[in-house]
Amino acid sequence: MRLTGRTALVTGASRGMGRAIARRLADDGALVAVHYATNADLADEVVTLIEKDGGRAFAVQADLGTPDGVDVLFDGLAEGLTERTGSTELDILVNNAGVMGGTPAGETTPEQFDRLMAVNAKAPFFIIQRAMAHLADGARIVNISSGLTRVANPDEIAYAMSKGAVEQLALHFAKVLAPRGITINTVAPGITRNGNPVFDIPEAVEQMARLSAFNRVGEPEDVADVVAFLASADARWMTGAFVDATGGTLLG
């Protein structure tokens, strides 16, 4: 229970890796704000699962692809934290929410491009900007990128651009935040099982598994455990880092 007494916000925590990260941080003792965009039922399910395991959590809604998304997020976060702790202090911020592209460059529309940038890159920047006033000294920020900033994929060029942008946050914010003992790092997952139907097709999973040195696809918990380390006191000497959580996919 190394995070007892800590508060955490995990964006995109209704499903996939965000769900596993929220559950892991709650297991470690943190009070977790489970953010979602549209799937309220799934976010409520995460809160229920955490509470069943003896943890504390609440759900917060915000569409981070809209201009007022970050304001809506922080209104809900402040309300939820104040109700439970009497303060809006935040110890852990995980910028995990993201949208994939899946469209070849030639077919990507300006609207699709803007959406990818808005949710994957712009929102994390403004979330950090807004969080600065709430972050406790010694707080932790983890931004989720992708192995696709290091491996070519012609169907995900715009997506990879958005993740390349999000990686800059750790590098440049690290010096701004270090005087307060706040660390900020990037975690780059490889192919990781989420609710996508492709993970129900054995042949597709076999093919994706071959990309990892361990010959399997990642499980959300594989990434959640890495994030939990970076969110802990043990990671106090790491900041501005790019952490490969691709199961060896980037080894080539």
Name which position in 108, 146, 183, 249 contacts ligand NAP (CB under 6 A): 146
- If the CB atoms of residues 37 and 170 are measured against ligand NAP, the closer one turns out to be 37
- Indicate the residue among 102 and 138 with the shorter CB distance to ligand NAP: 102
Interacting stretch for ligand NAP, rule CB under 6 A, among 1-9, 32-40, 77-85, 178-186?
Answer: 32-40
Shortest reach from residue 181's CB to ligand NAP, in Å: 26
Q: Does 10 bind ligand NAP (CB under 6 A)?
A: no
Q: Which stretch binds ligand NAP (CB under 6 A): 48-56, 95-103, 131-139, 168-176?
A: 95-103
15 is a site residue for ligand NAP (CB under 6 A): yes
Rounded distance between C-alpha atoms, residue 41 and residue 39, angstroms: 5
Dist. CA 213–CA 247, nearest whole Å: 6
Q: Which stretch binds ligand NAP (CB under 6 A): 47-55, 60-68, 170-178, 231-239?
A: 60-68
Q: Please report whether residue 37 would count as binding ligand NAP according to CB under 6 A.
A: yes
* Beta carbons within 10 angstroms of residue 53's beta carbon: 11
Distance CA 40, CA 93 (A): 20
From residue 149, give the alpha-carbon distance in Å to each of 10, 13, 22, 179, 239: 22, 23, 25, 29, 19
Minimal CA–CA distance to 235: which of 19, 8, 1, 2?
Answer: 2
Start-to-end CA distance of the chain, whole Å, equals 37
Return the structure tokens found at 233.
């006191």
What residues line the site for ligand NAP (CB under 6 A)? 12-18, 36-39, 42, 63-65, 96-99, 119, 144, 146, 189, 191-192, 194-195
